[in-house]
Amino acid sequence: MEKFLFEGTQWFSTEFTSFLKHSYLVMPNWKWIILIGGIVAGFALRPIVQWCFKQLKIHNPIAKKFVKSFTAYFFRFEIERPLAWIFIILLWFAIDDAIEVSGKFETYYEYILKGMLGFHVIRLVYYCVDALGFVFADVAAKTESKMDDNLVPFATKTMKALVVILGFLLILQSFGLNVMSLMAGLGLGGLALALAAQDTAANLFGSVTILIDNPFQLGDWVKVKDMEGTVEEIGFRSTRVRTFYNSVITIPNAMMAKETIDNMGVRPYRRVRQVIGIAYETPPDRIKEFCDRVRYAIRQESVVVPDTVTVNFNGFADSQLNVLVQFHLQVFTGAEEMERQQAIFIEILKIGAELKVDFAYPTQTVYYRGGGGDSDQQQLQQPTVQPM
């Protein structure tokens, strides 16, 4: 018969000693009391341990001094929760070893503790990968190349997925399962799985192609088919594009890899082209003066590339004389482009008003031919002009 602490002393009576030594289910009662007491004490102690870890995190001098270090980023997460659980689980393992729990109950008890311990260790490693991602993102932001800015988020997501998958496999291995045999068994259904996941695989290879070929970067204005917007995120399966009406389009990476992408974000200059129609009644000298003044006004804008300015009378239309206005702006955002373009167009309107140049609109002249009366002849000599 197993002995327990204080057995044979004056601490316990004979009846109580007999009760403690009596086995219930698979263990003596005294082991059940210690085990259950340890579990309850662990749950009661966990908030205190978590508070202690939180205070260490808050008052850590390294995180305060180096705000962009790995430690600072790692401590931004709630690491005190998994750390407290790991401490308590190790305490429960120690109680298990101390009282020598035996039989199948010990096996199940240890399986539960190993599963809990593995979950919280994976959680900590996951936070570590996230913190490393922030550190590498800061390093990438200091380089001139934009490829690493796209690569860091993708690599971080890949590492997170590997941490979860490998951690899960290690937990299964700790339960006594042969992971290699399990993987081999899963390989038998690999063909069916590959056929079912071929779109996912195509999108994954598409994301790798995008990162290697680098057709666009985060923040670029792109056009893909009839979709247009700013690239917000490049993920495993898709690329997210924020449209100019503030919605988000999710485009599969397989499509992004094979479609023609018009990257508007890499333009050194942005072209503005407008055909202005003026009335046929405008005298030639006034047309020339209008073109000269508009050309001069556009060249005075600081963001206009002077050598690209074109303002010329270049055609006769059905109801107007065409003046081509074309120039390039050295701007970097769509909002700035619209603002500068508006200022130039308003200046053109002011010049037209000063020179009394009438801007044309589509018109149609209708002639009425009657039977030769005076009223019909009058209508023939005075055509009616109606807006189309």
Q: Residues 161-183: pLDDT tens digits? A: 888 888 888 888 777 777 666 66
Type of residue found at 281? E
Question: Lowest-confidence range among 42-51, 75-84, 262-271, 299-308?
Answer: 262-271
pLDDT tier at 388, thresholds 50, 70, 90: very low
CATH class given for the domain over 206-265: mainly beta
Segment 285-301 shows an average pLDDT of 93
Q: How much is the pLDDT for 16? A: 60
Give the residue among 54, 73, 53 at the shortest CA–CA distance from 62: 73
Tell me the average pLDDT of the chain.
80
Give the residue among 49, 153, 35, 175 at the shortest CA–CA distance from 94: 35
Could you tell me where in the chain the CATH 2.30.30.60 domains are found?
A: 206-265
Torsion region of 26: left, alpha or beta (phi above 0 gives left; psi -120 to 50 gives alpha) = alpha
Instruction: Work out the percent of the chain whose per-residue pLDDT is above 70.
Output: 80
Q: How far is CA 171 from the centre of its chain?
A: 31
Q: How much is the pLDDT for 40? A: 92
Question: Lowest-confidence range among 17-21, 31-35, 69-73, 86-90?
Answer: 17-21
Tokens for 156, please give them: 């971080």
Q: How far is CA 191 from the centre of its chain?
A: 32
User: Taking 90 as the threshold, does the pLDDT of residue 293 lie above it?
Assistant: yes
Task: Please give the Cα distance from 91 to 89 (Å, whole number).
Answer: 5
Virtual torsion, Cα 286, 287, 290, 296, nearest 10 deg:
-120
Task: Please give the Cα distance from 325 to 317 (Å, whole number).
Answer: 16
Question: In terms of pTM, does the model score above 0.85?
Answer: no
Q: How far is CA 81 from CA 15, 54, 94, 175, 384, in A?
A: 43, 9, 20, 24, 85
Q: How much is the pLDDT for 21? A: 67
Could you tell me where in the chain the CATH 3.30.70.100 domains are found?
A: 270-362
CATH topology of domain 270-362: Alpha-Beta Plaits (3.30.70)
Q: How much is the pLDDT for 385? A: 47
Q: Residues 190-206: pLDDT tens digits? A: 545 555 556 766 777 77
Angle, helices 147-174 vs 179-188, to 10°: value is 110
Q: Residues 101-132: pLDDT tens digits? A: 776 777 888 888 888 898 999 999 998 998 88
Task: Please give the Cα distance from 241 to 219 (Å, whole number).
Answer: 9
Secondary structure element (H or E) that encloses residue 238, with its range: strand 238-242
Q: How far is CA 144 from CA 31, 132, 139, 148, 212, in A?
A: 65, 20, 11, 9, 17
Segment 341-355 shows an average pLDDT of 93
Segment 344-360 shows an average pLDDT of 92
R_g of the chain computed on alpha carbons: 39
Q: How much is the pLDDT for 1? A: 47
Task: Please give the Cα distance from 323 to 296 (Å, whole number).
Answer: 15
Q: How much is the pLDDT for 362? A: 73
Task: Please give the Cα distance from 63 to 135 (Å, whole number).
Answer: 13
Secondary structure element (H or E) that encloses residue 34, with its range: helix 29-58
Task: Please give the Cα distance from 377 to 32 (Å, whole number).
Answer: 120
